[in-house]
Structure 1
Amino acid sequence: MSRSETALARAVLIHGPLSRRDLTTRLGLSPASLTRLAKPLLEAGLLIELDEVADGTVGRPSRPLDIAPGLGAFAGVKITGDAVIAVGTDIRAEPITGGEWPIDDRSPEAVLALVARAVRELALPDLVALGVSLGGVVHDGVALHAPFLEWADVDVAGVLAAELGVPVSVENDVVALAEAERWFGAGRGLDGFATITIGAGVGYGLVVDGEVVRTSDATIGTGGHIPLDPFGPVCQDGHRGCAQAMLSSGSIAAQVSAALGRPVDYDETLELAAAGDPAVHAIVGSAGDALGRLIALATNLSLQSSVVLAGEGINLFSVVQDRVRAAASAGRDPRAEPVDIHVDDSGFRAWARGAAAVAIQSTMDRMRGE
């Protein structure tokens, strides 16, 4: 499959069914070029033509192109420090089944065996490929550094491919989530946006011109080191008032615990803030200000005015959203586009679907290389 054919197949996969007129506009092709590119995909059974529909133009009614049904199933897995979250999807990353398996042993051998078990228990017919996402630095299927699992140089793809007998793609979890948001989530239909995740860590991803930015720095977690408050707490790497120190759930809960003189977890922290506890509300409010500043920085530097907020700690936004929006606006030029904030509170299933989407795209890339 050529690069142009792959672009056509991906456009139909993500946005289809699409009329030929829509495809020529979206891909910048002439009608003749589109016909030439579509022919081998139709003959191979990857694409199908639907019944004719009138598209408002003069002449013969259009026959929209769509992805052929029954092209197999895909699995997506998100690995956290505590659990394996797995979903089975069709080729459009629409969920078929899913589940969650707690992690009792964080050793690579135990976790990867649990991933293989989870995929088998999904009982997917005609499994084509597996995608895995995890927090940390990933390259060529190897988890070079996964801090929440305390892994270094673990050949995730190699072990799982040998165990399950299907191709395995491994991606940084925030990059995979940005793919999920672009494809079927809060960012669907947006040409570009920044993704900010809050939870055990702080993640930052970027979509520009409909494509997820993938660079070596995209998997390192550089977004967590952005300075937001010169008087804030210090993160574990010694950065004062950085995003990690101001916004990670563990840091916020630790600040509240110190203020109240007793252990307080993140969920109780947000409950106390919502109830108006003065000490807790001050800490959570400062986190809201920091999130607003991070949003302003992300939009200013990326030149994208849309932001998708996600992660297991994103309920922070609902508690102090007025302060978040105020700080975001204050950090923007008044002539700039208003910041458009989208919140994805669907949890880790979306991250797992993002991993499945990465597996689907890798499958299409392999087809191009054949």
Structure 2
Amino acid sequence: MRKNPVFQRETLGAAVLHIRSGKATSRTTLAKVLGISPSTTGLYVDQLIADKYLNESGLNQGPMGRPRRVLTTQPEAGWFAGVEFNAQRIQAVGVDFSGDARASVEQVLPAEVVADQVIKSILICVARLAASMQGPLFSVGLGVPGLVDAQAGVGIHYAFIPDWNQVPVVEKISAKLNVPVTLQNNLRAIAHAERWFGLGHGLNDYVILGPRSGFGVAMVQDGRVIEGAHHAAGEVGRWPWPLMDDPGGRSQELHHALSAPATWRRLAGLGPQAKLPEDLRGGLSAVAEVTGPEWDAVCGDFARVIGLLQMITDTGVFILHGPLTVLGERFCSAIVEKAVALMPAMRSTGMKVVPSTLGDNAGALGAASLAMEVWAPA
């Protein structure tokens, strides 16, 4: 085994990650994915078993050769917290060491919430999770709305919390919890959730569509979540809308037309200031079967945006998240049909839009996935 402690720690963490994900199930397959010798891999596995992070038990009979013993993670070794928030609520999940969600909590935020209240509420949610989890808390992942600097651990700006500007989120949370904290934009966190728990499992290229309180996307290309040079990749909600010049002076930003609240108002035939239902998903479900010009206009706008994104990203699949998932396959199919009609070149791309199978916990699950992915034993 190499002596470099940083290399050892990173390799131990990578070994656990591959076993947890199912990419490796034995010492032999683990050596292959790590790219190191079987003898060295055996030393790492022995250490992880001794430290109670891994189990080795049972026999896995392959098509040829001798049976191999199976490696699995110890679920009770410790846990990871994932927290995601917007201006209305915080959602948090506790995930055990094997990557199974074991507990969840939700906390409604007060109207006109400020940054300090959000930080305090995050800490409260993690404490509530701890009461249901086994073992020590290893790390925390945060899905933060708006622009974020993941490397610096800073929430740069979020329009719906007035003083959310240059907030050192990681510093504030880690100082109280005394564990590593990882931060990412909430839609990019959802991209990680799809990789671990949803439709993105095994895919290298996909795009998360996030028409929620605003509108944004997260792009995964060649297995990597794209952040951009200025942390703004996917901020398509800031596109001018409509895209062409508007002599009538009706120009706005895309999220004003295609966010979940705006979409409900349009499908319900209501004005832009109409009061939202208490249950937005329920309200959208009530208009899921509408037909006519409102439905056509909404689907046409989504088709234009997604068609343009397809031409930029050449992605394998768009995964729809947020309240609009209740519109179901009919909505997704209509978007594809209209995109092909608008842009015939789309026909040869095999463009696909599907509603996510994950629920409202997707952001928190993604944040927990972040925490799992960066963890390594001390």
Distance 2:246 2:60 in 1: 60
1:135-284 matches, within 5 Å, as 135-139=145-149, 140-150=152-162, 151-219=164-232, 221-226=234-239, 229-230=242-243, 240=251, 243-253=254-264, 263=274, 265=276, 268=283, 271-272=286-287, 274-276=289-291, 278=292, 282-284=293-295
Match of 2:92, SS state, is strand
- Specify the alignment match of 2:3 in structure 1: none
Task: Name the CA shift for 1:332/1:226 in 2 (closer, same or farther; >3 Å).
Answer: farther
- Across the aligned residues of Structure 1 and Structure 2, the Cα RMSD in angstroms comes to 3.4
Q: Deviations over 1:13-34 (max 9, x none)?
A: 2225624555466566665665
Q: Do residues 7 (structure 1) and 14 (structure 2) align?
A: yes
Task: Name the CA shift for 1:64/1:117 in 2 (closer, same or farther; >3 Å).
Answer: same
Q: Do residues 307 (structure 1) and 318 (structure 2) align?
A: yes
Q: Give TM-score, length-normalised by structure 2.
A: 0.80
- Specify the alignment match of 2:126 in structure 1: 119
Task: Name the CA shift for 1:287/1:19 in 2 (closer, same or farther; >3 Å).
Answer: farther
Q: Deviations over 1:200-245 (max 9, x none)?
A: 11121122333333444455642324567546999xxx99476424
Give the length in aligned residue pairs.
358
Distance 1:359 1:174 in 2: 15
Distance 1:222 1:246 in 2: 14
Match of 2:117, SS state, is helix
State the identity as a percent: 24
Match of 1:348, SS state, is coil
- Specify the alignment match of 1:61 in structure 2: 67
- Given residue 206 of structure 1, which amino acid in structure 2 is its aligned partner? M
Distance 2:246 2:86 in 1: 25
- Specify the alignment match of 2:90 in structure 1: 84
- Given residue 271 of structure 1, which amino acid in structure 2 is its aligned partner? A
- Given residue 361 of structure 2, which amino acid in structure 1 is its aligned partner? R
Task: Name the CA shift for 1:340/1:221 in 2 (closer, same or farther; >3 Å).
Answer: closer
Q: Do residues 357 (structure 1) and 372 (structure 2) align?
A: no
Report the more deviating stretch, 248-257 or 300-309: 248-257
Match of 1:70, SS state, is helix
The answer (yes or no) to whether the contact 2:211–2:259 under 8 Å persists in 1 is yes
Q: Do residues 110 (structure 1) and 125 (structure 2) align?
A: no
- Given residue 81 of structure 2, which amino acid in structure 1 is its aligned partner? A
Task: Name the CA shift for 1:71/1:329 in 2 (closer, same or farther; >3 Å).
Answer: farther
Q: Give TM-score, length-normalised by structure 1.
A: 0.82
Report the more deviating stretch, 205-214 or 176-185: 205-214
The answer (yes or no) to whether the contact 1:78–1:355 under 8 Å persists in 2 is yes
Task: Name the CA shift for 1:313/1:176 in 2 (closer, same or farther; >3 Å).
Answer: same
Distance 1:15 1:141 in 2: 30
Q: Do residues 290 (structure 1) and 290 (structure 2) align?
A: no
Per-residue deviation, 1:354: 0.8
Match of 1:183, SS state, is helix
Per-residue deviation, 1:256: 6.3
Task: Name the CA shift for 1:332/1:25 in 2 (closer, same or farther; >3 Å).
Answer: farther
Task: Name the CA shift for 1:46/1:329 in 2 (closer, same or farther; >3 Å).
Answer: farther
Match of 2:106 among 97, 100, 109: 100
Report the more deviating stretch, 207-216 or 192-201: 207-216
Distance 1:169 1:297 in 2: 32
Match of 2:353 among 341, 347, 351: 341
Per-residue deviation, 1:64: 2.6
Match of 2:188, SS state, is helix
- Given residue 17 of structure 2, which amino acid in structure 1 is its aligned partner? R
What stretches of structure 1 of length at least 5 have no aligned partner? Answer: none
Distance 2:242 2:143 in 1: 31
Report the more deviating stretch, 108-117 or 38-47: 38-47
